[in-house]
């Protein structure tokens, strides 16, 4: 099975993407060293991935070990939450532990409010 991921912008510029990610990291309460490490991990990943669109179309089993080895889940989660990359459910499930949702929820609070309202209309309660 193919992960069928797609770049939201097929002409994505790697340098611009990494600059945007660095800008996001600057907003976080993290040490400069931690931010530098995350930027470096993302840069190494992008260098090795080459054409991100083609890389994302590989079967789920192929990219997961590379993602783990390079420790780029935070970068990919950011790409998903910002719409730079449209994820496949299999790849998101491979991560687990809700990291993707936590970042998305923090970046899209109004959408989260809508989800809570919809859940309440079904009588669902927040966890």
**Residue 97 confidence class, pLDDT cut points 50, 70, 90:** low
pLDDT of residue 23: 95
Which range among 22-26, 61-65, 98-102 shows the weakest confidence by mean pLDDT?
Answer: 98-102
Long-range contacts of 17-22 (CB under 8 A, 24+ apart): 17/46, 17/79, 17/84, 18/42, 18/43, 18/46, 20/82, 20/84, 21/75, 21/78
Q: Does a structural domain hold residue 119? A: no
Q: Does a structural domain hold residue 115? A: no
pLDDT of residue 7: 40
pLDDT over 70 for what percent of the chain?
A: 83
Q: Does a structural domain hold residue 78? A: yes
Q: Does a structural domain hold residue 75? A: yes
Q: How many domains does the chain have?
A: 1
Q: What is the mean pLDDT of residues 89-112?
A: 71
Q: Does a structural domain hold residue 110? A: no
Q: Does a structural domain hold residue 121? A: no
Query: Cβ(73)–Cβ(95) under 8 Å?
Result: yes
Domain span holding position 39: 6-97
pLDDT of residue 1: 25
Q: Does a structural domain hold residue 124? A: no
Considering the entire predicted model, what is its pTM? 0.70
Q: What is the mean pLDDT of residues 21-32?
A: 93
Which range among 25-39, 62-76, 93-107 shows the weakest confidence by mean pLDDT?
Answer: 93-107
């Amino acid at each position: 099975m193919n992960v069928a991921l797609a770049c939201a912008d097929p002409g994505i510029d790697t340098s611009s993407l990494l600059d945007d990610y660095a800008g996001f990291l600057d907003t976080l309460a993290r040490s400069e060293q931690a931010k530098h490490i995350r930027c470096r991990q993302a840069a190494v990943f992008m260098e090795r991935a080459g054409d991100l669109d083609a890389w994302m179309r590989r079967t789920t089993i192929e990219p997961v070990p590379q993602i783990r080895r390079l420790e780029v889940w935070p970068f990919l989660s950011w790409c998903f939450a910002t719409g730079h990359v449209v994820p496949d459910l299999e790849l998101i499930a491979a991560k687990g532990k809700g990291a993707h949702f936590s970042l998305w929820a923090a970046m899209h609070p109004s959408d989260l409010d809508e989800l809570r309202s919809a859940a309440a209309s079904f009588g669902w309660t927040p966890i």
